[in-house]
A and B are shown apart, each in its own frame.
Chain A
Amino acid sequence: DAGVIQSPRHEVTEMGQEVTLRCKPISGHDYLFWYRQTMMRGLELLIYFNNNVPIDDSGMPEDRFSAKMPNASFSTLKIQPSEPRDSAVYFCASTGSSNYGYTFGSGTRLTVV
C-alpha cells in the first residue's frame, strides 16, 4: 500500500497564476479530505468528499478555491488566481467507512510570491 499520494511536494508560483494540487487516496477508501496548515490558523478542513461527492465545502476560503473528485482514485484542489496569503502546506487525507482513522499524504508546500 503506497499510502495517500500527493503531488507536487513543493510548488512555487507567482501571484495571479493558477495552481493545481493533486491527490490519490488509498484504494478502497471512500472519504477524502483536503486540509490546509499555516502557523497562524493551524490545520483547517477545506472540503471533504464521500464516494466522490463533495459533502462539506464550508471551509473553502473563497471562490478562488475549487476542488473536484472525478473518480475514486483522484482529486484536485485548484486555486485561481493564487495570492501570497494562500501560501501554506496543503494536505490530503483519506479513510474508509469501516475505519475512521485518517491517513494523510505528505503534503504540498505552496509558496505564492
Chain B
Amino acid sequence: GIQVEQSPPDLILQEGANSTLRCNFSDSVNNLQWFHQNPWGQLINLFYIPSGTKQNGRLSATTVATERYSLLYISSSQTTDSGVYFCAVATGGFKTIFGAGTRLFVKA
C-alpha cells in the first residue's frame, strides 16, 4: 500500500516563528488532506489539497502531485497552533491513510 512519511516528527517553536511541515507519499493520490489534532484530541480538517496551493489565514498548503509531496506552512505561530499535524492521502476512492504526524509545540 501507499507509504506516507511526515517530517519532522517533532518541532518546537518560539511564538511568532514560521515553520514548514512536509508530507511525502509513495504513489499517485487523488485525495490529500491536512489535519490538526489539538491537545484535547479533536481532529480538525485544515485543507483538502490533492494539488496546487491554498491559504487560510496564517496557514497555507502546497501539493506537488507529480513529485509526490505536500507542504504545510504555518506563519507567525501561536501557542494555540500546538498539537499534532497529520497528512492523509488516498490513491483511489476514499480509502484514506494517515501519516504518523508532526508534533508541534509553540512556546510563549
Bound together, the chains give a CA A104 to CA B100 distance in angstroms of 17
A-B contacts, 28 listed (Cβ < 8 Å) = A31-B94, A35-B98, A42-B98, A42-B99, A43-B86, A43-B88, A44-B98, A45-B95, A45-B97, A45-B98, A48-B94, A48-B95, A50-B94, A55-B94, A56-B93, A89-B41, A93-B43, A95-B94, A100-B31, A100-B33, A100-B94, A101-B45, A101-B48, A102-B88, A102-B96, A104-B44, A106-B42, A107-B41
Residues of B with C-beta under 8 A to A31: 94
Chain A: interface residue total (CB-CB under 8 A):
23
Q: Does A103 contact B (CB under 8 A)?
A: yes
Instruction: Assess the A103–B45 pair: CB atoms within 8 A.
Output: yes
**Contact flags A28-61 to B (C-beta < 8 A → 1, else 0):** 0001010100000011110010100001100000
Chain B residues within CB distance 8 Å of chain A: 31, 33, 35, 41-45, 47-48, 86, 88, 93-101
Q: Could you tell me if A42 and B95 are in contact, using CB atoms closer than 8 angstroms? A: no
Nearest chain B residue, comparing its CB with the CB of A91: B43
Q: Which residues of B contact A102 (CB under 8 A)?
A: 33, 35, 45, 88, 96
